[in-house]
Structure 1
Amino acid sequence: VHRAKAQGVLAFKLYPAGATTNSSSGVTDIRKCFATLRAMEETGTILLVHGEVVDPAIDIFDRERVFIETILPVILDNFPGLRVVMEHITTKHAVNFVREAPDTIGATVTPQHMLLNRNALLVGGIKPHFYCLPILKREEHRRAIVEVVTTGDSHFFLGTDSAPHPRGAKESACGCAGIYSSPVAMPIYAQIFEEAGRLDQFEKFASINGAKFYGLPRNARTVTLVKEDWEVPATYRFGDDVVVPICAGATLPWKLVQ
């Protein structure tokens, strides 16, 4: 950890074993990581967390809440100075925890968890391109996330968790988790902030809060979004295959032009 920090590494990510795609070699017991976490606390290295338990007895829709109630306190009680980012939060429980936490705790939020609830995945047939981990949750959780994020609260910042997988790997009897959002993430975020009447807070979420948490200078470059209807392509090339983006075929009111 000390050598990595000296070379400019800012953060390590915790993947519980089996929590998401390609995580089978992840952490099985957080206590086995205590020496690493201690060194991270000492050096100011940030811990990025996929915050779900992997106990098969725990319902998939409860795994983030149970992680916050059981695993996260073990980390923070033993390493109170550790800087932690709860990646891609999905529940009101995570919102409440992070909002009330000190400035050493932050969270990222994806476009899908601000835009969609679990009905999008499950109602009217399974929609494999809406399947991600952590899984989409109830509408009450989506609303809680939108409400806090669009205030510009400095604990919360942009993190797409964009995960392109070939169409065949998604449209499968046992499809993999992951939503491809990169081409449409900024337009989706802009739409959500505008619908909340808080477009003036978008820059904090997208460009300021994350840089501040990481102790990095704000990006001097800009992107340009215009209020213009456009249709999201059905697919994008993905090597010799194609990948289906979130909102494929839908019309979005904001367009990224530069």
Structure 2
Amino acid sequence: MTTLTIRRPDDWHVHFRDGAVLEAVLPHTSKDFGRAIVMPNLVPPVVTTADAEAYRRRILSALPDGHDFRPLMTLYLTETTDADDVEKGFRDGLISAVKLYPAGATTNSQSGVRDVARVYPVLERMAEIGLPLCVHGEVTDPDIDIFDREAVFIERVLAPVRQRFPALRIVMEHVTTKDGVDYVRSQAENTAATITVHHLIINRNAILAGGIRPHYYCLPVAKRESHRLALVEAATSGDARFFLGTDSAPHPTHLKEAACGCAGVFSSINAMACLAEVFEAAGAMDRLEGFTSLNGPAFYRMEPNTAEVTLVRRPEPVAYPATVPFDGGAITVFDPIFPIHWECVPAR
């Protein structure tokens, strides 16, 4: 196969940041993707509908001319979130999801939830109106090994929330373990998971073997090879509960290459090309459209994009930029450690 035309994909988990970084990275998402669930962990975070509306305006102002792209806004869940404000944002068509960050779990999560019971009134309202909850599925207990945080989160937090709110629509974002895959498969169709590009490609050796490689460090951290293989199997299986969320997370290169480097992988620029490599290797190119373009809209109760893109396999490797410059530095682009022969172009 040298070409594949599919519905235009969506990214159901992306970080745009703000200001100069937003202006630098947004075009690489809006070029290939029709929509994206935009993460709210700015400084200060996007906690109210008014915050989300203002952030959406800034995103649209930074959108290049000719790019047909719709940002899907989210709210950052805190222990003081107002359920009425959440419902109003949803009913007005502005809010597409609410994001649960355990406090301290990842970048700019300090304002997140420490006691999940304190947000039960908001979760109850969300279950009533059908608004999805996106969860960063890790505990932050320092006694828990970092490689076990996802599995423990399922046991301690996610399972009790699911039992208490059986109608709540939940997305377990950037799932990284077989435990997470198995949990989603054990649940009804109102539980789903996003899978990132980089977690389909790297395991923890990429970060640690042969020296510390900070540009592969992310949260949740990449796990053992057995977990990566479980993610590939889930993504390529055709199971509609799994869909693409790149978790593309830009950080200035100098803050990644630091004594205490930032967590995040920036993959928007080559995400679709990398996915084509993964699905081709798995003999599952016929299921790429479902994972990138159909399963996510179905879960979020939206229609698939009507436009199409074409993935073209080039005989020679495609050269993607190593960095993306912005006013203040540069952002390093995800390197999958193998040649990329695919390229995503508009369908003719």
- 1:37 aligned residue: 123
Pair 1:234 & 2:322 matched? yes
Partner of 1:81: 167
Give, in whole Å, the separation in 1 of the partners of 2:189 and 2:300: 11
Aligned position for 1:158: 244
1:127 alignment counterpart: 213
2:286 is matched with which residue? 200
Instruction: Provide Cα deviations, 1:69-120, integer angstroms capped at 9, x if missing partner.
Output: 1111121111110000000000000011112211000000000100010000
Structure 1 match to 2:176 = 90
Write the distance in 2 (CA, Å) between the matches of 1:5 and 1:233. Answer: 38
- Contact 2:138/2:149 (<8 A) preserved: yes
Inter-partner Cα distance in structure 2 for 1:249 and 1:37? 41
Opposite residue 243 of structure 1, the aligned amino acid is I
* 2:105 corresponding residue in structure 1: 19
Aligned residues of 1:235 and 1:248 also touching (Cα < 8 A): no
Contact 2:201–2:278 (Cα < 8 Å) also in 1 = yes
Higher RCO by CA contacts (8 Å cutoff, separation 6 or greater): 2
Pair 1:200–1:248, CA change in 2 (3 A):
closer
d(CA) in 2 for partners of 1:62, 1:34: 25
CA deviation string 1:121-177 (max 9, x = no partner):
000011100010000000000001101210111000000000011111100000010
| Preserved contact between residue 198 and residue 336 of structure 2 (Cα < 8 Å) | no
Instruction: Determine the C-alpha separation between the residues in 2 that align with 1:100 and 1:219.
Output: 29
Unaligned regions of 5+ residues in structure 2, if any? Answer: 1-85
Distance 1:154 1:148 in 2: 10
TM-score by length of 1: 0.97
Whichever residue aligns with residue 60 of structure 1, its letter is: I
What is the deviation of 1:248? 7.5
Aligned residues: 258
Please tell me the residue identity of whatever aligns with 1:72. Answer: L
Distance 2:301 2:99 in 1: 18
- 1:138 and 2:224 aligned: yes
Q: What root-mean-square deviation, in Å, do the aligned CA atoms of Structure 1 and Structure 2 show?
A: 1.2
After the TM superposition, which parts of structure 1 deviate over 6 Å for at least 4 consecutive aligned residues? none
Distance 1:39 1:119, change over 3 A: same
Is 1:101 equivalent to 2:180 in the alignment? Answer: no
Note the C-alpha offset of 1:250: 5.6
Q: How do 1:166-245 residues align onto structure 2 when only pairs under 5 Å count?
A: 166-228=252-314, 229-245=317-333
Aligned 8 A contact 2:201 2:336 in 1: no
**CA displacement at 1:238 relative to structure 2:** 2.3
Equivalent in the alignment of 2:73: none
CA contact (8 A) 1:234 1:249 kept: no
Query: Given the superposition, is the C-alpha separation of residues 248 and 68 from structure 1 closer, same or farther in structure 2, using an over 3 Å criterion?
Result: closer
Q: CA deviation at 1:187?
A: 0.6
For residues 196 and 248 of structure 1, the distance between their equivalents in structure 2, rounded to whole angstroms, comes to: 16
Amino acid at match of 1:154: A
- SS of 1:216's equivalent? coil
Letter in 1 for 2:138: E
Kindly provide the amino acid, as one letter, of the partner of residue 229 in structure 2.
R
Corresponding residue for residue 49 of structure 1: 135
Distance 2:232 2:298 in 1: 21
